[in-house]
């Protein structure tokens, strides 16, 4: 016997997360199926579908849309995006159009990105110069402050390195950006520790 839903749960209610997970689990299992590789990534209501072909991805989008509508959920096409990358020359993105619920979704091109769980998603994304500048400024502020040497080292360990942890783990910046940050911080650190410039 179906259970009638006469009222939703409030934002922040302890039950809301659990109820949402119970409702969305069949959708996730349906898309993943028995595939050995990942076909869907999910965190709460943020979903990322993965597919080896455009046709299969559109099938999954249609399937997700149909399953979601059965449990009273609907997707906002304006918040959705697609990224079709091909390894066939010329390597890069392809302008393949996808739709969800009959509405077209935005297609990312080379150098264009969007975020999924705070991580930029795209192909050949430009370096986030604002992030690099903020790390360089933070390092400079700590290392040129009037703190005692041990306090500067402690501030680096407490604020500077943890601030970069997410970008390091998610590969948000390219190796050249990390090299710039390292080349900037290393001389300051050696000076603070009274080490010669050639010290390794």
d(CA 55, CA 42): 21
> Where residue 151 falls among pLDDT bands split at 50, 70, 90?
very high
Q: Are residues 145 and 100 in the same domain?
A: no
Q: Which bin fits 115, alpha (ψ -120 to 50), beta or left (φ > 0)?
A: beta
Q: Are residues 58 and 142 in the same domain?
A: no
> Where residue 189 falls among pLDDT bands split at 50, 70, 90?
very high
In a domain, 60, yes or no: yes
Q: Select from 106, 123, 140 the last residue of a domain.
A: 123
Write down the pTM of the prediction: 0.68
The distance in angstroms from the start CA to the end CA of the chain is 71
- pLDDT tens across 106-143, in order? 999 988 888 888 788 888 887 788 999 999 999 999 99
Structurally, how many domains does the chain consist of? 2
For 189, the domain range is 129-193
Tell me how far CA of residue 74 lies from CA of 64, 98, 115, 137, in angstroms.
10, 16, 20, 43
Q: Select from 123, 150, 166 the last residue of a domain.
A: 123
- pLDDT tens across 12-34, in order? 778 888 888 888 898 899 989 88
Q: Are residues 22 and 119 in the same domain?
A: yes
Residue 29 CB-half CA count within 13 A: 6
- pLDDT tens across 55-107, in order? 999 999 999 999 988 888 888 899 999 999 888 898 888 999 999 988 999 99
In a domain, 6, yes or no: no
Q: Select from 123, 149, 179 the last residue of a domain.
A: 123
Q: Are residues 174 and 109 in the same domain?
A: no
Residue 191 CB-half CA count within 13 A: 11
- pLDDT tens across 29-43, in order? 998 988 888 999 888
């Amino acid at each position: 016997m179906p259970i009638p839903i006469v009222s939703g749960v409030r934002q922040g209610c302890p039950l809301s997360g659990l109820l949402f997970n119970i409702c969305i689990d069949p959708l996730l299992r349906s898309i993943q199926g028995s595939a050995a590789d990942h076909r869907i990534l999910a965190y709460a209501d943020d979903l990322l579908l993965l597919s080896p072909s455009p046709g299969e991805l559109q099938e999954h989008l249609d399937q997700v849309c149909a399953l979601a509508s059965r449990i009273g959920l609907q997707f906002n096409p304006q918040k959705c995006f697609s990224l079709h990358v091909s390894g066939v020359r010329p390597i890069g993105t392809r302008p393949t159009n996808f739709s969800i619920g009959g509405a077209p979704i935005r297609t990312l091109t080379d150098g264009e990105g969007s975020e999924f769980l705070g991580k930029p998603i795209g192909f050949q994304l430009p370096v986030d110069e604002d992030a690099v500048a903020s790390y360089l400024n933070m390092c400079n502020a700590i290392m040129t402050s009037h703190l005692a040497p041990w306090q500067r080292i402690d501030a680096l360990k407490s604020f500077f390195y943890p601030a970069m942890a997410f970008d390091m783990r998610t590969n948000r910046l390219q190796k050249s950006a990390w090299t710039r940050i390292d080349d900037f911080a290393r001389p300051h650190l050696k000076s603070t520790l009274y080490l010669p410039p050639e010290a390794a």
